[in-house]
Structure 1
């Protein structure tokens, strides 16, 4: 992996060198502060005041230059506008073409300015994080709260750049008008099905979105995939060769994702009946459902490591193990053994290849369609979650062939075994193993770039400047000498163990992982105990439970369309995060059975509020998590996606274990006693979010 400092040095605009944030100087100041505080030479108040003044000056320098450049661009656009009006009246095709090129030149300069702002925004985030980590203060919380919310905030200019958006709109609109004679030419804000768009606008829109975090449905949905990206992708990562991309292999990865989610949830409506038929308590369904998650805690790690060398072999192994696991699950009825049932589910968990599915998208799908592939991964998961219970509701029959029983309890196992066998055959015939030497290695240089690729590669200035404003060639070495964890983070490759990964986690990251744990815990409690609770209170049949769970699963995509397309563009993600947590808390509170008769509307409405709020929360949580996650956790076996997956899987394990253990106290106490830890964890996450609120930017 290319070191952070080297990446920044590759992305430089030499003539703007002195206007960048002097990251190196401030990093050295942080180190000096730490030493002076240890010796008692400075107190906390003096340090905060001194560093705040330094940051204010750095931000003011950036903002004044930004405003100056916006003015230059605006003046150029005004001059082009006069020529534009005369060209429209005369319909001079030659002049129209010249004007288009002139507007494109302005667009290229605007893209340079966007990259300038992006580099400085990253530098500000990193130096604030370094200060908090090295000195143990909550300086970020204080600084962002006092500067970002002030009516004359310069900090907002760096992170919101409203003026730049106006320049983008002017260029887009005028180029659209110039293209009328050649057919419809869309502005940057339109999304027509036809009519090609100038590639420069794709680059501008991507850069602007990275700064404002504006989203659309696909982008919001893709966040759920837990595919962590580095802050500054290298040019090689930005353009994976299309020849390495194989559509059928991607489709097979998505099919694996879909089948696995169907496999996970197809047993939920019948797990309690199956447990009772084998002589166990109905609440043992918690262990039956959770056994898959227990095994997935371990399988995520070895599949992630295996995907460093191959994609085809782990997928083959996954299919075979899942085939065996489902056969054992189905045969448990005729063996009359709850242990065979549990072993079958453990096998299914050991076959979880979701880490491989994510890694394939991250490594082998070109950047231009990676967002769509990630959204496809999430959609396949959501569809599988809805199809699993729905399919279970259709398998209402009872017959025997030879000595094998086929009923609502065993058919999920038989159906999934057949599905994995067919998938295994399809995989063996159609999957194309990419060359890992080409996909995973970092080439030393890129010799051939298109004009727009060259623009994107070389437009940014390094943050690592010396005190006099010049580039420091020894900065990577100085990083090693810094002595802080952050310095190590910036200068080395991927971590090699979960322990090392955990040490890199900052308080905001830990809070985001806690939120992810909480929402997965609450959702698992709701889904896994639904069959037992509804049978006890409402005497629902298996088909009714299946319909309820399928309806919950079908809300995933509509909710993400609403939030991704509208809500996330109207409000800050951290505000949506906090409100969603509160709504999950309200859903949990409404689910409790207290004194009055428990009714179907109360259960359905509270469950819907909890589930939908958790879905909204998952999207914004993972979006924020991707921004606060250390860059070293964007690649390798122990990446941020794996940590998030482990947090969510552990939550499911704990929730399913709680259902089984509480079940021994009686089904009448199951609902309240399992909701109580959900409520406590939710309240804790809300408090933690409030404490780190100003760090989530």
Structure 2
């Protein structure tokens, strides 16, 4: 396995070699600091001062070279501009073609410069994390805070690429203008939304967005899926190739499975309390009825994820059959007058949850270039299913018998979903194409992509010193003079056994890869899913008790909540996330969720519909914002070993969210034993306490959320 320093050197341009971050020097310094602190020859303050000065020197070297190169590019653009604007040459087709090629050459050189900045930014983040992990000083927060906001900050040049935007703009405008002369489209300033046709400009824009973590609606929405995007450290002239070997219809079938499953989950929410009472149980048993599906999903997510290592078609077929049977049982429970058949039917539905397969298909089989769009489709399908489920339940308001079977608002959700899964099974059998699954496919892909992603993804979890044996080997090489070779770069301590690069094989292994900040983010995910499940699952009981709402009214309310998902993500993804830091949005949205929960309590005044609706809307919308930002941060800091395999990052988030739903639905049923009058306040109290705990934990780990 290639070490970070060696990989970094391979990506460097030879002619710029002396201007890159000296990772070898800084890594040796970190090691020396450890020895000095152990022997007492240097104190903490001296170490921080010396390391800060060394970083300042390194950054200044990078920035001055960056400014020099920007000046050279600006000079070339100025000369091209003179030719471009010359009256004698504006109508010469040959000259226009030459100018276009010249601008493209400048664009390629700019792309090299952007990659230069990116490689140095990666190196800086890596060494800062390494220093923090070795000494536990939270040095990064101090260093970034004191340097980033200073009026003479050189750090901004590296992390915010200040000044490069002007060069990007000049190349973009002139290439657009040259294409306009051929009649292809208007000026970029007249219609900036039109996509540029030149691949050089597309590559530059992608590099700029990657440097600044810029986002848009599609990108922000895709992050909800927590499908790990491969972060490949680019070379200056690499062009991303589109793999057209994937099967589009199979992707659509996966998204359709996601859509139908979410409908299946929420179609019973408006009527679960009425169905429970018709079978002789209390209304609050709806918590168990709704949560039974989530309980089964805790287990099904694991075996479906493992199954998808070998096949995608067979688990989807199994899922459809089990869901068909489960919905039939759910519908027949009314005529059998059995709450147990009802619950077993819901358990079957949970055992058919193939969301792990849907995620794995997108992660493993969809080409990188369109994986973001596929991930956004996964989230959109889930959101639309969540909205359509209650809305469909509101339309199924009828009551008749056919062949001694009852069709009413309680049983029709089961019958409708059974027919839907049967039709889906037929479509699946006809249209799905199984991707190739050689025995070593997953391992080979994982190892190959891990090598590519080594630079960007290894830093967070990799210990500074693996074993005492490695330390001794490094010291021997230094004494023997072998370390003078630049390829070695003192990276033996970063070398790890081959097994440490493979996907994890158990939840325990996955848990050991989680840093405190990742654990806090999973706790936040648990909290927001818990709060949302409390709001949704008890909505029918609460609104009937306080306001006398009908099933149709509850369905409309829940459908409206579901319909807010996409608009909220448009606003946050396109605007808010580009105006504020993600950790700021993370903390603010948690506070808003907490406010929504507080407003939902029934205190010493009459509980009103506006109070319930407004508080529920604040809580739900804030939780949606929180989910996107939280998963965005989570996907960037998770180990590459969690990007593939059975126990991947998507499975961890699914399990956290599913456990939250199980606990929430169980809470509703247990507290319901005390009476419906106590249900609202007593179920909101745990939500409030967990939310406050998450806010405190976020403040504690705030400095590491970057």
Q: Which TM-score applies when normalising by structure 2? A: 0.89
**Cα RMSD between the aligned structures?**
3.1
Summarize the alignment of residues 525-544 of structure 1 with structure 2, pairs less than 5 Å apart. 525-544=534-553
Task: State the 1:435 CA deviation.
Answer: 1.1
Which residue is equivalent to 1:453? none
Task: State the 1:18 CA deviation.
Answer: 2.6
Which residue is equivalent to 1:432? 433
Which residue is equivalent to 2:676? 667
| Cα distance in 1 between the residues matched to 2:305 and 2:404 | 40
Q: Secondary structure at the match of 1:107?
A: helix
Do the aligned residues in 2 keep the contact of 1:364 with 1:439 (CA within 8 Å)?
no
Q: Secondary structure at the match of 2:406?
A: strand
- Change in Cα spacing, 1:356 to 1:6, as seen in structure 2 (3 Å) is farther
Please say if 1:646 is aligned against 2:647. Answer: no
Q: Secondary structure at the match of 1:214?
A: coil
Do the aligned residues in 2 keep the contact of 1:389 with 1:549 (CA within 8 Å)?
yes
Do the aligned residues in 2 keep the contact of 1:188 with 1:205 (CA within 8 Å)?
no
Which residue is equivalent to 1:687? 696
Please say if 1:385 is aligned against 2:386. Answer: yes
Which residue is equivalent to 1:229? 229
| Cα distance in 1 between the residues matched to 2:46 and 2:58 | 19
Task: State the 1:507 CA deviation.
Answer: 2.4
Unaligned runs of 5+ in 2: 465-477
Please say if 1:657 is aligned against 2:658. Answer: no
| Cα distance in 2 between the residues matched to 1:475 and 1:275 | 67
| Cα distance in 1 between the residues matched to 2:242 and 2:443 | 11
Question: Given the alignment, which residue of 542, 567, 571 partners 2:576?
Answer: 567
Do the aligned residues in 1 keep the contact of 2:226 with 2:632 (CA within 8 Å)?
no
* 1:332-360 residue CA offsets vs partner (Å, 9 max, x unmatched): 22222222222211111111111111111
Which residue is equivalent to 1:241? 243
Which sits farther off after the overlay, 470-479 or 280-289? 470-479
Which residue is equivalent to 1:207? 207
| Cα distance in 1 between the residues matched to 2:502 and 2:87 | 55
Which sits farther off after the overlay, 640-649 or 585-594? 640-649
Which residue is equivalent to 1:612? 621
- Change in Cα spacing, 1:573 to 1:184, as seen in structure 2 (3 Å) is farther
Which residue is equivalent to 1:335? 336
Which residue is equivalent to 1:483? none
Do the aligned residues in 2 keep the contact of 1:240 with 1:364 (CA within 8 Å)?
no
| Cα distance in 1 between the residues matched to 2:368 and 2:194 | 21
Summarize the alignment of residues 104-143 of structure 1 with structure 2, pairs less than 5 Å apart. 104-143=104-143
Task: State the 1:61 CA deviation.
Answer: 2.3
Which sits farther off after the overlay, 335-344 or 269-278? 335-344
Q: Which TM-score applies when normalising by structure 1? A: 0.90
Task: State the 1:188 CA deviation.
Answer: 7.4
Do the aligned residues in 2 keep the contact of 1:494 with 1:633 (CA within 8 Å)?
yes
Please say if 1:472 is aligned against 2:481. Answer: no
Which sits farther off after the overlay, 161-170 or 415-424? 161-170
| Cα distance in 2 between the residues matched to 1:565 and 1:547 | 28
Task: State the 1:533 CA deviation.
Answer: 0.8
Task: State the 1:479 CA deviation.
Answer: 1.4
Which residue is equivalent to 1:363? 364
Task: State the 1:583 CA deviation.
Answer: 1.2
Which residue is equivalent to 1:406? 407
Which residue is equivalent to 1:284? 285
| Cα distance in 1 between the residues matched to 2:187 and 2:656 | 42
- Change in Cα spacing, 1:510 to 1:85, as seen in structure 2 (3 Å) is same
Q: Secondary structure at the match of 1:405?
A: strand
| Cα distance in 1 between the residues matched to 2:81 and 2:634 | 43
| Cα distance in 2 between the residues matched to 1:445 and 1:630 | 14
* 1:297-344 residue CA offsets vs partner (Å, 9 max, x unmatched): 222222122212111111111111111111121122222222222221
| Cα distance in 1 between the residues matched to 2:95 and 2:115 | 30
* 1:441-469 residue CA offsets vs partner (Å, 9 max, x unmatched): 647999xxxxxxxxx99x99x999x9999
- Change in Cα spacing, 1:195 to 1:520, as seen in structure 2 (3 Å) is closer
| Cα distance in 1 between the residues matched to 2:27 and 2:305 | 35
Summarize the alignment of residues 119-268 of structure 1 with structure 2, pairs less than 5 Å apart. 119-185=119-185, 197-232=197-232, 239=241, 241-242=243-244, 244-268=245-269
Please say if 1:557 is aligned against 2:559. Answer: no
Q: Secondary structure at the match of 2:414?
A: helix
| Cα distance in 2 between the residues matched to 1:423 and 1:196 | 39
Q: Secondary structure at the match of 1:400?
A: strand
State the aligned residue count: 678
Which residue is equivalent to 2:377? 376
- Change in Cα spacing, 1:120 to 1:539, as seen in structure 2 (3 Å) is same
Please say if 1:307 is aligned against 2:322. Answer: no
Do the aligned residues in 2 keep the contact of 1:185 with 1:195 (CA within 8 Å)?
no
Do the aligned residues in 2 keep the contact of 1:2 with 1:442 (CA within 8 Å)?
no
* 1:117-142 residue CA offsets vs partner (Å, 9 max, x unmatched): 22222222222222333333322222
| Cα distance in 2 between the residues matched to 1:611 and 1:63 | 45
Do the aligned residues in 2 keep the contact of 1:312 with 1:431 (CA within 8 Å)?
yes
